[in-house]
Every structure is written in structure tokens, then in C-alpha cells.
């Protein structure tokens, strides 16, 4: 689990190219936390459960955050939100008769940025990095229209924190422009925003349509307000964009009502959000609650469930990878899932198609996946969609289970499955054109060639 999470962290934070879904990532992290709770002796001191984000990339000067930039604990169920309220009460020694109002606001799917103003002038902008050490992206931040360069009436020292993001429309236009120029397109608006902000040449950032919502703060020479809601209003009055769906809620019931209201508007907001953040309104109580290793006790992110859509699976195709692994891919009738048109889904391997997990457990109630089936696909702020369910009532009675090939579809060599391996592999080696091409691509890719490494070692 540790290695899987570290690999996922690296591809998400450092390479801006996620390889597993947010939902899978959250599940992995929860499983690791549960294991560590059960077997504390086995927990590694450097476990990913004690860290957030990823190490800073080379190329930017580093900035130490005087006040760490934190992550948020996740809630998935209404009951988790009630628990959050209960935990704060027991920590503060407050009974159920005391009201604990909280703000509720969208959780923006972008990347966080800390802006430092001294005597009203923007002097530094830094990414979160690992929370303690971020990247200095001041010149890039200056190119973002939503970020004021100077403030009037602000505390002498003010660090404003918030989220840099890209709207759906701007993301689509950017990708179209990138394609026209033969340059790489981005998987989703979050990656586009991260890739655009973390450009060593600020002129490139300037050409990218980035936006910013302020929702938090770091170092302050004097308080902004005595409440969370008041502080956000103050930031708005200073000239920052704050999210218009931010509400002050009297209790858990109102928080959940605002969650539903925000969820209902999700598809028409024009930018990605992946949940609702609740923050205790009283800043004196926030201070009493303080922090765990990487998350405040006074805030929680209530995530939206993965989005689902039904469509027809037109064909199952087999792709052959560099190592000869045969990977089945579902070609789908295009369908919109969470604002993104999906026409492919991964099917992992032959057991998965048959209704078994890689550990041999029954999944989808054992329903197999066939060409022509109506399937439910999902993605969770994600790159590769997956198949969640099959509608047996709409299955053609004449359809047959999918027969996974035992010969490589590229070179005709035998494809074998070793004992205990979920994957079937082509035995053709370099005779197989697919393997040869993929191996060559891998070899000449910068990472594998390690040109910098060669230079350093001579």
C-alpha cells in the first residue's frame, strides 16, 4: 500500500498526471490507515498517512511555509459529518445544547496557493508542495487576473490561501489550441491548472486562463475577523474572489442541506468541484481544536460519490503493452460522465471481465461483461473510467461470454498466464510489433534514458 500510494502521489503531484482515480486513492489511504491502526508496530515512520502532497519539483526556488499548508480529512457519508460534529463537541467538552455553526463551501478541484502581502503589496506566491516547503511561483501568480497585486486596508502582513483552477470552457479551448499546435493535451482541468501554474516561463502561465478562489489564510499581523464567515467576507471586501456558494450553517442538518444544494448545481457551475468543505465558524474554537498531523480538527471535506452513467459497450479490444501484457479495453458509445465525454473504459484483465477481482473475489455480483452489454461507467475526478455494473435485463439473450484470446492479437504468439498472475502475456518478445514499439517508446522516453543521469555520472 505504501508503495502504491507513493507512486500515485508522485504521478499526481509531481508529474501532474494522475494514474489512479481519486476514489481508489482515498480507498488505498483508508486501508493503510486502518492497517496501521491495527498493527501500529508495522507502521513506517515515513508513512504516506503522515504526509500530504509531494516533494517540490526541481526548477523552482523553495519557500518554507511559516504556517503549514494543510490537507483535509474526508467524509463520505452523512454519518461522517455527524461524527465530525460529535468529535468537535467531545474535544471541546461541549454538550448537544451548544450550537456549533459551520461554513459550507465547494471544494474546488485545483491546486492550492499561498499569497503573501506585505503592506498591501503581493510579495510572494507559493504552492503547497509537501505542506511545509512549497515552490516559489510569484511571477506566475502575478499573471492571474483574479489575484490582486495590491490591497488597500489589509493587515500589514497577510497570507491569503486559496485554489487556482481552470473553468471547463477555458480547459476545452486550451486543449483544442494545444492539439492544433501538436502539443500535449491535459487530462482534466486540475492538471491543466497545475501544469499552467508550474511553468518555469511565466509568459506561458500568462497565456493560460487561470482563476483563483480565496478560502483560507496563513500568517496574519492582525486577525481578519473572529469568525470563518467574517474572514471570508473580509477577503472578498479586499478584492479577492470568494466562492458565491459559501453559506453559514447553524447545524449538521443545514450543512447537509447545503451539500445537496451544491451537489445539485455541480454540473452547471462551469468548473470542477469534488465535494463540500465544512469549517467551524468560531475562530477561537478553531484555535482550541488545533491540528492532527496533516489536517485541522475543525474542518472536513465531504466528498461527492463517483459519478455514474449508463452506455452501450460496443466492443472489447485487447492492447498489448511493453511487457507483453494483454490489457482489455471497453470501447463505449460516447457518454458524458461528470462533464467529460467518455468512450473507453479499462477492463483490467480476463478475471475482471468474468466478474472476479484480482484476488479472486466476486465483483459486480459475479456479472460478466460482454460485447453489446449496457454498462454503468464511473469516474471520480479521474483519468481512466471503469465499469461499475452491467444491466442484465438489457442483455441480448443470444450474446455469449467474452472469450479472452490465448494468442497475441498483434503477433499471433501464444499468450500465457502464469500461476497466480491475473495478467495474460504475449510470449513473442521483440518479434511482437506491439512490444517492440512500446519497448522502444519506453527506452527513448527521457525518464528511461536518464540523460541527466548520464551527464552527471559521465
Q: Which residues bind ligand IVH (CB under 6 A)?
A: 70-72, 105, 107-108, 112, 128, 163, 215-216, 277, 296, 299, 301
CA–CA separation, 266 vs 106, rounded Å? 9
> Of 29, 51, 62, 107, which residue is the catalytic one?
107
Nearer to ligand IVH (CB atom), residue 164 or residue 375: 164
Nearer to ligand IVH (CB atom), residue 299 or residue 332: 299
Closest distance of CB 168 from ligand IVH, Å? 17
Active site annotation includes 62? no
Nearer to ligand IVH (CB atom), residue 215 or residue 240: 215
Angle at 232 between CA 226 and CA 259, to 5 degrees: 110
Nearer to ligand IVH (CB atom), residue 338 or residue 428: 338
Closest distance of CB 108 from ligand IVH, Å? 4
Closest distance of CB 291 from ligand IVH, Å? 8
Closest distance of CB 132 from ligand IVH, Å? 13
Nearer to ligand IVH (CB atom), residue 30 or residue 441: 30
- Chain residue whose CB lies nearest ligand IVH: 112
Nearer to ligand IVH (CB atom), residue 84 or residue 352: 84
Closest distance of CB 184 from ligand IVH, Å? 24
Closest distance of CB 67 from ligand IVH, Å? 9
Residues marked active site are found at: 107
Amino acid at each position: 500500500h505504501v508503495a502504491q500510494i507513493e507512486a500515485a502521489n508522485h504521478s499526481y503531484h509531481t508529474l501532474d498526471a494522475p494514474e489512479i482515480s481519486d476514489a481508489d486513492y482515498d480507498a488505498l489511504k483508508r486501508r493503510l490507515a486502518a492497517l496501521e491502526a491495527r498493527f501500529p508496530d508495522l507502521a513506517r515512520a515515513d508513512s504516506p498517512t503522515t504526509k500530504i502532497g509531494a516533494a517540490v519539483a526541481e526548477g523552482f526556488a523553495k519557500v518554507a511555509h511559516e504556517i503549514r499548508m494543510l490537507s483535509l480529512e474526508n467524509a463520505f457519508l452523512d454519518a461522517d459529518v455527524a461524527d465530525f460534529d460529535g468529535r468537535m463537541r467531545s474535544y471541546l467538552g461541549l454538550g448537544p445544547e451548544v450550537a456549533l455553526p459551520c461554513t459550507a463551501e465547494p471544494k474546488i478541484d485545483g491546486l492550492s496557493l499561498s499569497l503573501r502581502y506585505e503592506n498591501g503589496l503581493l510579495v510572494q506566491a507559493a504552492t503547497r508542495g509537501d505542506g511545509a516547503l512549497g515552490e516559489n511561483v510569484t511571477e506566475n501568480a502575478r499573471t492571474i487576473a483574479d489575484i490582486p497585486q495590491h490591497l488597500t486596508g489589509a493587515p500589514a502582513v497577510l497570507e491569503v490561501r486559496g485554489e487556482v483552477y481552470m473553468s471547463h470552457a477555458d480547459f476545452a479551448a486550451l486543449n483544442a489550441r494545444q492539439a492544433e499546435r501538436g502539443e500535449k493535451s491535459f487530462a482534466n482541468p486540475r492538471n491543466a491548472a497545475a501544469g499552467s501554474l508550474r511553468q518555469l516561463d511565466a509568459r506561458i502561465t500568462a497565456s493560460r486562463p487561470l482563476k483563483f478562489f480565496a478560502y483560507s489564510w496563513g500568517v496574519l499581523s492582525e486577525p481578519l475577523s473572529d469568525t470563518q464567515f467574517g474572514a471570508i467576507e473580509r477577503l472578498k471586501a479586499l478584492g479577492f474572489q470568494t466562492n458565491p456558494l459559501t453559506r453559514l450553517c447553524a447545524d449538521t442538518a443545514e450543512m447537509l442541506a447545503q451539500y445537496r444544494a451544491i451537489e445539485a448545481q455541480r454540473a452547471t457551475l462551469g468548473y470542477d468541484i469534488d465535494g463540500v468543505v465544512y469549517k467551524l465558524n468560531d475562530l477561537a474554537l478553531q484555535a482550541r481544536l488545533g491540528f492532527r498531523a496533516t489536517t485541522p480538527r475543525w474542518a472536513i471535506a465531504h466528498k461527492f460519490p463517483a459519478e455514474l452513467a449508463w452506455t452501450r459497450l460496443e466492443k472489447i479490444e485487447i492492447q498489448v503493452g511493453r511487457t507483453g501484457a494483454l490489457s482489455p479495453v471497453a470501447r463505449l458509445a460516447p457518454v458524458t460522465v461528470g462533464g467529460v465525454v467518455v468512450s473507453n473504459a479499462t477492463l483490467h484483465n480476463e478475471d475482471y471481465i468474468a466478474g472476479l477481482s484480482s484476488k479472486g473475489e466476486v465483483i459486480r455480483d459475479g456479472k460478466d461483461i460482454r460485447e453489446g452489454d449496457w454498462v454503468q461507467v464511473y469516474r471520480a475526478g479521474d483519468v481512466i473510467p471503469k465499469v461499475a455494473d452491467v444491466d442484465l435485463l438489457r442483455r441480448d439473450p443470444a450474446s455469449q461470454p467474452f472469450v479472452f484470446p490465448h494468442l497475441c492479437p498483434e503477433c499471433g504468439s501464444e499468450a500465457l498466464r502464469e500461476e497466480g498472475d491475473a495478467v495474460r502475456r504475449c510470449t513473442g518478445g521483440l518479434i511482437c510489433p506491439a512490444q517492440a514499439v512500446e519497448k522502444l517508446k519506453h527506452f527513448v522516453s527521457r525518464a528511461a534514458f536518464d540523460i541527466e543521469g548520464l551527464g552527471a555520472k559521465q
